[in-house]
Structure 1
């Protein structure tokens, strides 16, 4: 914990003092002085740092440090590029605000040394927002990813041959430099990301965040003490020509699995990219990195371990259960997890079907997490949100404890119907081609319409599938009650709207008698109208919560490649409209 406090204080000091001259020595002295506050935890140390930064005069750069070391050449992000445009006291106010203080708390922290008001804090925060173009989470992610104490040795100075003879004391100077380096080793602990043992993340690191990510995934496993193994694994990944790591390398798991030594590592590319996960194995006759996968999101994901039928599970996901998505209804099986590694799943579950994916459900606090995971460690593991199930949405506030409904009540029947619809949607995504899982990020599944199709087509649901992580345009598909695809993928307006309530979709469906255009919308759409070769047809919301629905007769025969040219216009109550083309 003390090391973590020092790292946060050093970052705060460096970004406050940085005017382009790399003030690492000054920042280290300030952070070390702040660490002398013995009581009050991190807030007290931060308050002491503020006093040091605002009252201690600059003493210049440490000459010996500048002679032997130079800062690692890390391209600054938008926040680091913007901060030098402000004076140090405004930088400090902004950084305290992004460190979790409110504007009044920032004023209280600085008012003993500066004449500052709430409006001054808001002004500098708004100015940084405007210069960076990042939201609060993006700015905080860049700040937390920056590590100012990453330095490297300066290369030796090249001496012309004519001057070599006059350098009588070079050997003695070399000895002195070696002694200085040895004494300074405890201070400059991270000299180069390209060498050495990878970072270990503490077992309780994730408890400090309300929404932990892979950055807080603690290092687990029985071989964490084997520094030589960890170093070999990290060096092997750094030497990978195809997918080398970016930034700091950290250990997620190190242990013995099926007689092999396994090390799972992840890198730290910063806020502009997602981290990658590499798996290093040492077996009796082989060793090396066997897979590297870039995560679709920095949220905690399940990671398939080689071909062992096991998964890494972050500690904030509990009560893990799994089912094969091809069944008409889920047959959930509990999964035992020990020291971050699951027990092996039945090998016969991994036959070629449903894109080789399984459905996992876990709990995190009071929230249920649904995730699809492959038997290929190189494939994505998308998390799934259900737009029509509020308890599946990303939590916007602290979830409240719910009382289970009584059996046989309308509320219980509604929940059971939602569970059946959710399982049908998962079946359609994994088995009916509603999404290509190996290429997708997290998925948001929405039910626009459920009802009876004409011409004896039976009961169906018009499902929308949006990729949350990639931002790519979504698709739609018409599915039966058991998740079978009744149409090809259709178009949606999801690349133009931000709310699920204003979404609309359209697909072509071949009934037993003829082709039909099926279009539906969420409650935020007031009217749907089709235009094109089928003429003009429209349907309007009835004012009682019923969203518009269009089922337009098409040709009686013909293949999908020769269907009429049709577009659907979705009108919102405020007059905005979007155009959808069924594919």
Structure 2
């Protein structure tokens, strides 16, 4: 869909493309990044955690009421607690646009988006727990007895209520899961029926209206839902069957002893003990695979090898860090790379294989980074980063990034670690200086980060906020041939920023290049975690605006990936004085703005300060003519077009290149 932004008192930019599509009215020269239409506010993990702690009793009560009574009171209590504790998101997430509770409610969190997000997750998993397992699929986690919390030797259940509570519990047990959820949302959360429908739909209920009708068969008794009968946080304890428990304990001890004996016999192969740590059990039988896991065979490049080599890639990086001689750490890292255990968090950039190394890899780094031990290997195709806590191996992580044919700026920095929104980098041995620069402030001086054995001080990551983008910090590296800019896009290797015509781009560190990038820095958020290798900004046209409004810049940003396919292209439009550019058109997997076929055509509906609407379009310099069709008609020779249009007009664009070929507006 086209994008636009509005600010009162400014000229208006409204985005269009070659298709016939209705375009929203726009009222701003300054265009800031926004959230996806229809999504709720973005909730940080910390915000969700605060909501969970504050409203934990209410969320557990909601889960307990929605869970099927057939589970039994003890398992129902433990499952309710488990579902709420697992509802905390692992990363930032969009909350539901449904309010957490209708006005006038109590103890429900008001309009807190964190509570709304948690409630939706709790409701979804509670409904899943009530569905019978399918024969053709593995049961979901919510359908299994919870691993945590667990209480041994005791039965836990809420305090018994009166006859009214017992009757209500029996009536609710006769309802289906969605109907029970509808009753609880309406009575406990005080949500109106239209909001209940939306919450049920978001939780995966296919017929929310039918669920509401079924729930209406049970008379509303909202006050009873707050009673101790349905409070899984105020519990009574009784012992389990003591005689049966003794019998089960004896059987369990016997089984454990047999398992230990079998485990010892299976774990010792003919070649000896294998590496442990966070790696999964197993042993490499192939001689080449065993060699790849031997810390003594890891390649360590001499510190001065890069000075005499003609190469500027990862193959000439020396092994650095204070733990390069820690054989046990290297063995654990290699073993986890070969066979990561179930507790290891594994990630890889798109298109990167995550299998074991084919032979002994090259060691780039082994040392302490903040509160972790970090090891980085290179096998000629990939970088593999292993990280474990300073004590123990629980919570180990393994990250992969594809870096085949990386050279120059693409092989000058690797992420060592992230903590509290900051990033530490390991730089190439030929880098002499590292600095931090805000891409949105092109005239500001870069802040020196310092280098210690190639490791930078913490660099604040790009700052993003809902509806705005206040800063975008990048890494500025100085080496023999000049200064280069790299930006963190959430992956193991930062992306290289360039400026200029495709095929012959220049570095983005020059003053004019910094001014070119500044309005479009925040658009880099659109290519996070997509395996981006480099991003180029190319001003393909500059257009004089009607009614004496100055001149606007047309810039194409193209993000190329390591896998070579799926580049993301944005044609952006910036009016005079605008802090941000407006995305006029976008496409993926096209040749536009690339080295093979750098032609581009895009258009916007724009409102001048005089209140008149125009269709503006621009193509690259080799565009011979442009023609508008649909609700706006007009044509012009050359690569620029400006014709009068009506607000909300529908238009299409066609261009003819100087060699006679035709092109359409960027899709």
Question: So what's the TM-score if we normalise by structure 1?
Answer: 0.52
If asked which structure has higher relative contact order (CA below 8 Å, sep 6+), I would say: 2
Counterpart pick for 2:323 among 223, 226, 232: 223
Instruction: Give yes or no for contact 1:212–1:300 (8 Å, CA) kept in 2.
Output: yes
Aligned to 1:250: 362
Measured against aligned partners, the alpha-carbon deviations of 1:234-267 in whole angstroms (never above 9, x if no partner) come to 2122222754444343322111223532212334
Structure 1 match to 2:647:
557
How many residues end up aligned between the 2 structures?
A: 354
Find the counterpart in structure 1 of residue 416 from structure 2.
305
In the alignment, is the contact (CA less than 8 A) between 1:296 and 1:382 conserved in 2?
no
Q: Output aligned runs, 1:181-196, within 5 Å.
A: 192-196=290-294
- Structure 1 residue 447 and structure 2 residue 543: aligned? no
Give the aligned partner of residue 480 of structure 2. Answer: 365
Shift of 1:341: 0.8
Aligned to 1:206: 306
The change in CA–CA distance for 1:317 and 1:539 in structure 2 (over 3 A counts) is farther
- TM-aligned CA deviation for residue 476 of structure 1: 0.9
Given the alignment, which residue of 624, 629, 643 partners 1:532? 629
2:236 paired residue number: none
Q: Which residue of structure 2 lines up, in the alignment, with residue 436 of structure 1?
A: 527
Pairing 1:386–2:512 present: no
- Which residue in the other structure is 1:341 paired with? 455
Q: 1:492 to 1:578 in 2, by over 3 A?
A: farther
Hey, what's the Cα distance between the residues in 1 that align with 2:363 and 2:459?
A: 24
- Is 1:567 aligned to 2:663, yes or no? no
**Matching residue of 2:603:** 507
| Aligned positions of 1:90-489 closer than 5 A | 192-197=290-295, 198-240=298-340, 243-248=354-359, 249-269=361-381, 275-287=382-394, 289-295=396-402, 298=406, 299-308=410-419, 309-327=423-441, 329-345=443-459, 354=469, 358-374=473-489, 376=490, 378=491, 381-387=494-500, 393=506, 419-420=511-512, 422-432=513-523, 435-439=526-530, 440-455=532-547, 457-469=549-561, 470-471=564-565, 472=567, 474-480=569-575, 483-489=579-585
Report the equivalent of 1:581: 665
CA, structure 1 residues 456+281, in 2 after alignment: closer, same or farther (shift >3 Å)?
farther
Unaligned runs of 5+ in 1: 1-174, 179-187, 270-274, 395-414, 541-547
Find the residue that maps to 1:438 and give its secondary structure. coil
Deviation of 1:224 after TM superposition, in Å, equals 1.1
Distance change (3 Å), C-alpha of 1:449 and 1:455: same
- The equivalent residue for 1:545 is none
**Contact 2:425 2:456 survives alignment (8 Å):** yes
Distance 1:363 1:224 in 2: 26
Say if 1:267 and 1:490 are closer, same or farther in 2 by CA, change over 3 A.
same
Superposition deviation, residue 461 in structure 1: 1.4
In the alignment, the residues of structure 2 paired with residue 354 and residue 196 of structure 1 have an alpha-carbon distance, to the nearest angstrom, of 47
Quote the offset at 1:565 in angstroms.
Answer: 3.9
Deviation readout 1:78-116 (Å, 9 max, x if unpaired):
xxxxxxxxxxxxxxxxxxxxxxxxxxxxxxxxxxxxxxx
What's the Cα RMSD here? 4.0
Aligned counterparts of 2:533 and 2:449: Cα–Cα separation in 1: 24
Query: CA, structure 1 residues 453+209, in 2 after alignment: closer, same or farther (shift >3 Å)?
Result: farther
The question of whether the paired residues in 2 share the 8 Å contact of 1:466 and 1:494 is answered with no
Change (3 A) 1:358 1:389: farther
In the other structure, the counterpart of 1:44 is: none
Give the secondary-structure state (helix, strand or coil) at the position aligned to 1:427: helix
- Structure 1 residue 494 displacement after superposition: 6.3
Match in the other structure for 2:618: 520
Deviation readout 1:310-334 (Å, 9 max, x if unpaired): 1111123332221123436444111
- From the superposition, tell whether residues 517 and 231 of structure 1 become closer, same or farther in structure 2 (CA, over 3 Å): farther
TM-score by length of 2: 0.46
Equivalent-residue separation in structure 1 for 2:604 and 2:403 (angstroms) = 31
CA deviation after TM superposition for structure 1 residue 521, in Å: 3.7
Task: Report the 3-state secondary structure (helix = DSSP H, G, I; strand = E; otherwise coil) of the residue aligned with 2:477.
Answer: strand
Larger radius of gyration: 2
Question: Hey, what's the Cα distance between the residues in 2 that align with 1:240 and 1:515?
Answer: 60
Q: Residues 386 and 398 of structure 2 are in contact (CA less than 8 Å); yes or no, is this contact kept in structure 1?
A: yes
